[in-house]
Structure 1
């Protein structure tokens, strides 16, 4: 790993140690009342940062428009924790292999961001990792429409985030977006990235 990549790894590791609680899709909607005793399904997503090129880039996916949940949305590689997974980190690595062809031994895991609760009932652990080598991308047929990357600096700049809103289940729901070119990054992905940006800014 280059000196620049190692410096980035050290900065991220320090940022992940900062105090701060979990996040949720409801953070910008303080009036939302969530049911007591709700059971959330554990999930893990990989926040893969490629340091193989001149500038660090965040790898993301665009979900297939045919999917039942979050069709066409931009997301991290990842999914629910299956019976064979030891933890959310293992689930994130397995799903990244299945969804984009990222070899499980390639990511250098730096640590985890706080858990994030989604409107679909998942408790998501975002696993931050550096990817030091190029790899052949194989989007999972039927699930992943596109694999692309954005400069890490773009999503780590708090000024690039916009709060927007729309009607959802009869109420006005507010959420973060961090657009990049033709890519509309919003919802849970943008909220987790906003938390990452806040930690890196400290």
Structure 2
């Protein structure tokens, strides 16, 4: 989906365990939140100040949501912006390498849990599914790991990342 105009937001796509068995850090949002309750997402949020660059937004939000020190992140690239249907955000994803084994802590006001999934688990959990959202059936990419469902903008960002990682792996073989 082409990213709509609306409001700019940024997420950090934290990769740990690189180059061995890489994995990604996600958040499970609290179920009592007004926006995206209970959903699995990358740490991130709305750009509060247009003077703040979007990488700074992603790093600030990751620090607020999961206690990730920006000094522990090596931002290595960006993925294409993704739009959200409901909130009208234009989400700018930034990929960052982080050391494995960092002590992360969820923000009690926003995050129910911090989830760590290996790349192979995510690839194995992919499926196109028919979901009903706000009474409208949609066929959409999803990733299921255990009881956790990743869908929407997060699934589209994840799909783009996995596609690029796959191409890079193919170049190396």
| Common fold: TM-score over 0.5 | yes
SS of 1:179 mapped into structure 2: strand
How much has 1:196 moved relative to structure 2? 1.4
SS at 2:156's partner residue? helix
Distance (whole Å) between structure 2 residues aligned to residue 24 and residue 72 of structure 1: 25
Q: CA deviation at 1:142?
A: 2.0
- Give, in angstroms, the shift of residue 170 of structure 1: 4.6
> SS in structure 2 opposite 1:42?
strand
Aligned residue number for residue 170 of structure 2: none
Match of 1:197 in 2: 162
**SS at 1:123 equivalent:** strand
Measured in 2, the distance between the counterparts of 1:128 and 1:96 equals 12
Aligned match of 1:163 in 128, 132, 135? 128
Residue in structure 1 matched with residue 13 of structure 2 by the alignment: 47
Task: Give the number of the structure whose alpha-carbon radius of gyration is greater.
Answer: 1
Separation (CA, whole Å) in 1 of partners of 2:131 and 2:6: 24
Offset at residue 168 of structure 1 (A): 3.4
Rounded to whole Å, the distance in 1 between the matches of 2:120 and 2:143 is 12
Residue in structure 1 matched with residue 49 of structure 2 by the alignment: 83
User: Residues 54 and 200 from structure 1, CA distance in 2 versus in 1: closer, same or farther, beyond 3 angstroms?
Assistant: closer
Question: Structure 1 pair 200/135, CA: closer, same or farther in 2 (3 Å)?
Answer: closer
1:198 Cα deviation after fit: 1.7
Q: Which residue of 1 aligns with 2:99?
A: 132
Classify the secondary structure of the residue corresponding to 2:145. Answer: coil
How has the CA–CA distance of structure 1 residues 44 and 83 changed in structure 2, closer, same or farther, with 3 Å as cutoff?
Answer: same
Offset at residue 197 of structure 1 (A): 1.5
Aligned positions of 1:5-154 closer than 5 A: 23-24=1-2, 39-51=5-17, 55-83=21-49, 86-119=52-85, 120-154=87-121
- 2:71 alignment partner, SS class: coil
After superposition, residues 165-180 of structure 1 pair within 5 angstroms as 165-180=130-145
Q: How many residues align?
A: 166
| TM-score, length of structure 2 as denominator length | 0.86
Question: Does the 8 A contact of 1:49 with 1:152 survive in 2?
Answer: no
Give per-residue Cα distances to partners, 1:23-65, cap 9 Å, x unaligned.
459xxxxxxxxxxxx7410000000011279622211110000
